[in-house]
Structure 1
Amino acid sequence: MLRRLDLRGQSLTTAQLRRLVPRAEVDVERATRAVMPILEDVEARGVAALIEITGRLDGVQLTDIRVPAEAMTEALDGLDPAVREALEESIRRAQIVHADQARTDVTTQVVPGGTVTERWIPVERVGLYVPGGLAVYPSSVVMNVVPAQVAGVGSIAVTSPPQPEFGGLPHPTILAACALLGIDEVYAVGGAQAIAMFAYGTEASEPVDVVTGPGNIYVTAAKRQLRGLIGIDSEAGPTEIAVLADDTADADNVAADLISQAEHDPMAGSVLVTPSEELAAAVDAALARLVPQAKHAERIEVALRGSQSGTVLVDDIEQGLKVVDAYAAEHLEIQTADAPAVAARVRNAGCIFVGAYSPVSLGDYCAGSNHVLPTGGFARHSSGLSVQSFLRGVHVVDYDEQALADTEPYVTALADAEDLPAHGAAVRIRFEARDER
């Protein structure tokens, strides 16, 4: 089922590997051209534009974009007890992990009388996007809200696409997750128009400082276009999993994990990297058996047969590590002998799952880690969502008179070297005035 890419016996550069490894093709530039009129319309007309665009694109006629409080209460009251318990446990575990990411102010004495303090200040207001579409993502509510709350963000708004079958409200499980977390500002707006609402503000909602959360290509295009006016987490593309495995791996486990990500989207990427032809064949056989049994078999098969998925054959784990580092997967599983040691050598991945009992599905829901992760190779330079995503480090400089006097010759020398003499003069004037007295 998975196409094969045989790299054995080849010595390839990182650039060559990046071109060769399977990857979903996403044309964000084309999507940006499509969303520009939407962004401009929301900026100009606010709520009226949001209601009109939602009717046109989502087939839902709204009278108000904000979800009423009673709908949140009803959603929580009607939540399946087993789902509520699972969400509460997911929240608890995420809070434990993210609490350890909290930052404390640090003051460094540079010279006697001269200090620099790094203060960590949360952004004032954030907008959190929870996707709709082919699946329901209450887990994304947890993953976005918890780090923002731990960071100390004072104002949190959530938006999710309206669903015709639920009277134009977001899915009730999403509303229930918001209620569990104490979020009462929720909007029934999706797509690029939701990002515009957050960025520009409307008569019904204040603008935000940061927008996080995954979405479709139009959400990604809107985030790219509005970046700078707002901070963003990353440009999310189709989900992806890479599994680095050797002949110690269980083929059924590997196949099930590849299927689990293919279930998200026909464009999802599922990549196996292995030195074992026997394992590759066994995984193909397991996929042929397991895919037809899956609820979303058609969607899964399209994803697995797509150019973004495949099996990469390598000489050994050493070459396999080079391949997965070049790929920089959103999710990377290590199912090899001595998996912890192999995982410790990985440099590029959104999240690393170690061994047979740490599947990606665990991270999606209840590991305590965050599942909002960089895709499309962005893990080479970007991190997943964390408390840090909602904090700004601000340096506070505090020098007394003598500490500045001692430093004046250095400032003057560097200012003169850069032909910026007024910089040095701004220091010297303080002491010239003192000496004249």
Structure 2
Amino acid sequence: MTEIAITRLSARQADFDTALAQLLAWDDSVDHQVNESVRHILQQVRTRGDAAVLEFTAQFDQLEAASLSALEISADRLQQALQTIPSEQREALEQAAERVRDYHQRQKQDSWQYQEADGTVLGQKVTPLDRAGLYVPGGKAAYPSSVLMNAIPAKVAGVSEVIMVVPTPAGVVNEMVLAAAAIAGVDRVFTIGGAQAVAALAYGTETVPQVDKIVGPGNIYVATAKREVFGTVGIDMIAGPSEILVICDGKTDPDWIAMDLFSQAEHDEQAQSILICPDAAYLDRVEASIRRLLPTMERAAIIATSLNSRAALIEVADLAEAARVSNRIAPEHLELSVADPQALLAEIRHAGAIFMGRYTAEALGDYCAGPNHVLPTSGTARFSSPLGVYDFQKRSSIIGFSADGASEMGKVASILARGEGLIAHARSAEYRIRQGEE
């Protein structure tokens, strides 16, 4: 069995701040060769369109096609997948989709206006994006839940067309992914992946339409490509390894907490699992559960590497200090496994998603709770939010001055514009000032 040596920290130790910073450090710098490769692929797709996408798909996915149209999956094929997957899978997807849709309906923002006393109208017009691109990992990793989490908010926002790309190495298609696309209302699906798929969505080709925003997870090539095309199109985020932080009062079954930590550690070797508790003896019990349960896990080697390299069990004085440490970490997933989570919630400032109480496993949020599972990582919860309907809506300011308002505010604008030396600005405003009011 793989040896487990999880980092133990105490908020009382003199070097706690330094030790915590070292634990949280994650190098997201892009390998030079990856950068060069991605830039080459983007340039080729931008200039050669379909032909370049076909060449890279054959090279990287061993999937040959005479045309890019041949790599588009029809709506009928999506429905076929929905009809033929096992009934329990379909029911689970549909139930999850219903909950995700219901939650996100409540996020939808509407346009608004108000009128001032002199008749001036101000407001905001909220408009959905015209077209969104959804990247879905393929091959060994297949995530139908990601299809639901990314496509449903776009559709709730009113996006007219959602274009999904999913690699199918050697032509291997995941039926649940196609079924999820049918349930979520995805409009078009292309079996392409990697940086070439991101490029096709960002720039458009003869067959793949250009989108306004690209969302969805991918490998380092996909993440690097998204970073490169940002500005040409919008992107959701550049996600780092998955993270979970559990604050526990020492009263939850330690096996539950051990498995919650495993649930993130099994994603990959760089995933981070942290437990904070004021009870040192309880930390010992959780560690014992980890050692006992790890051999039962299918992805034991990945979990062990993750726990050894990036996990920690942290002792604090009390739950208030636990909240302060958590706020510094700003975790992607935060479980409040305590008797009164509502009281502790008031102390939490930075977290992607907050899971309340002993019964709320983070895994429920990944699939069927309703809130989005696309969350800020690597401390970015300090300034970022989960993916939502608002990511697929944009806002335009509405400004409509009455004659009285234009005359009055024209005086203010004139003074400020002349102060900045922008005389045309000043005179443009001054033309609207009523004669005799200067």
Q: Same fold (TM over 0.5)?
A: yes
Name the CA distance, whole Å, in 1 between partners of 2:295 and 2:175. Answer: 30
Contact in 1 for aligned 2:411/2:433 (Cα 8 Å): no
- The equivalent of 1:54 in structure 2 is 57
For residues 67-86 of structure 1, the aligned pairs below 5 Å read 67-86=73-92
- The equivalent of 1:269 in structure 2 is 272
SS of corresponding position for 1:28:
coil
For residues 20-169 of structure 1, the aligned pairs below 5 Å read 20-28=22-30, 30=32, 31-63=34-66, 64-164=70-170, 168=171
SS of corresponding position for 2:103:
helix
Cα 1:61–1:2 change in 2 (3 A) is farther
Q: From 306, 327, 350, give the equivalent of 1:325.
A: 327
- The equivalent of 1:194 in structure 2 is 197
Name the CA distance, whole Å, in 1 between partners of 2:181 and 2:44. Answer: 29
Name the CA distance, whole Å, in 2 between partners of 1:39 and 1:173. Answer: 30
- The equivalent of 1:341 in structure 2 is 343
Give 1:29 shift.
Answer: 5.5
Name the CA distance, whole Å, in 2 between partners of 1:152 and 1:280. Answer: 47
Does residue 178 of structure 2 align to residue 175 of structure 1? Answer: yes
- The equivalent of 2:229 in structure 1 is 226
Contact in 2 for aligned 1:21/1:327 (Cα 8 Å): no
Q: How many residues are aligned here?
A: 429
SS of corresponding position for 1:103:
coil
Give 1:315 shift.
Answer: 2.8
Name the CA distance, whole Å, in 2 between partners of 1:181 and 1:155. Answer: 12
Q: Which amino acid aligns with 2:41?
A: I
For residues 258-337 of structure 1, the aligned pairs below 5 Å read 258-306=261-309, 308-337=310-339
Name the CA distance, whole Å, in 2 between partners of 1:287 and 1:12. Answer: 26
Cα 1:57–1:312 change in 2 (3 A) is farther
Name the CA distance, whole Å, in 1 between partners of 2:61 and 2:145. Answer: 23
- Could you give the per-residue CA deviations for residues 399-427 of structure 1, whole angstroms, max 9, x where no partner exists? 11111112222111111222222212102
Give 1:12 shift.
Answer: 7.8
Name the CA distance, whole Å, in 2 between partners of 1:279 and 1:65. Answer: 54
Q: Which moved more, 1:3-12 or 1:168-177?
A: 3-12
Q: Which amino acid aligns with 1:123?
A: L
- The equivalent of 1:371 in structure 2 is 373
SS of corresponding position for 2:51:
helix
Name the CA distance, whole Å, in 1 between partners of 2:276 and 2:42. Answer: 41
Give 1:8 shift.
Answer: 2.6
- Could you give the per-residue CA deviations for residues 167-219 of structure 1, whole angstroms, max 9, x where no partner exists? x1541110111112232400111222221111011111111001111222221
Give 1:266 shift.
Answer: 2.3
Q: Which amino acid aligns with 2:278?
A: P
Contact in 2 for aligned 1:169/1:188 (Cα 8 Å): no
Q: Which moved more, 1:149-158 or 1:177-186?
A: 177-186
Give 1:431 shift.
Answer: 4.4
Which runs of 5 or more residues in structure 1 are unaligned? none
Give 1:130 shift.
Answer: 1.4
Does residue 21 of structure 2 align to residue 19 of structure 1? Answer: yes
Give 1:22 shift.
Answer: 3.2
Q: Which amino acid aligns with 1:138?
A: P
Q: What's the C-alpha RMSD, in Å, of the aligned pairs?
A: 2.1
Name the CA distance, whole Å, in 2 between partners of 1:281 and 1:62. Answer: 57
Q: Which amino acid aligns with 1:372?
A: V
Q: From 217, 235, 238, give the equivalent of 2:238.
A: 235
For residues 376-415 of structure 1, the aligned pairs below 5 Å read 376-415=378-417
- Could you give the per-residue CA deviations for residues 269-305 of structure 1, whole angstroms, max 9, x where no partner exists? 1121222221221111111122211222222222222
Name the CA distance, whole Å, in 2 between partners of 1:11 and 1:387. Answer: 44
Q: Which amino acid aligns with 2:88?
A: A
Name the CA distance, whole Å, in 2 between partners of 1:326 and 1:217. Answer: 27
Give 1:336 shift.
Answer: 2.2
SS of corresponding position for 2:371:
coil
Give 1:221 shift.
Answer: 1.1
Cα 1:377–1:18 change in 2 (3 A) is farther
Contact in 1 for aligned 2:408/2:433 (Cα 8 Å): no
Cα 1:127–1:360 change in 2 (3 A) is same
Cα 1:109–1:245 change in 2 (3 A) is same
Contact in 2 for aligned 1:215/1:236 (Cα 8 Å): no
Which runs of 5 or more residues in structure 2 are unaligned? none
Q: From 227, 247, 252, give the equivalent of 1:249.
A: 252
Q: Which amino acid aligns with 1:178?
A: A
Could you tell me the percent identity over the aligned residues? 38
Contact in 2 for aligned 1:23/1:309 (Cα 8 Å): no
- The equivalent of 1:418 in structure 2 is 420
Contact in 2 for aligned 1:107/1:115 (Cα 8 Å): yes
- Could you give the per-residue CA deviations for residues 120-149 of structure 1, whole angstroms, max 9, x where no partner exists? 111110001112354321011110111101
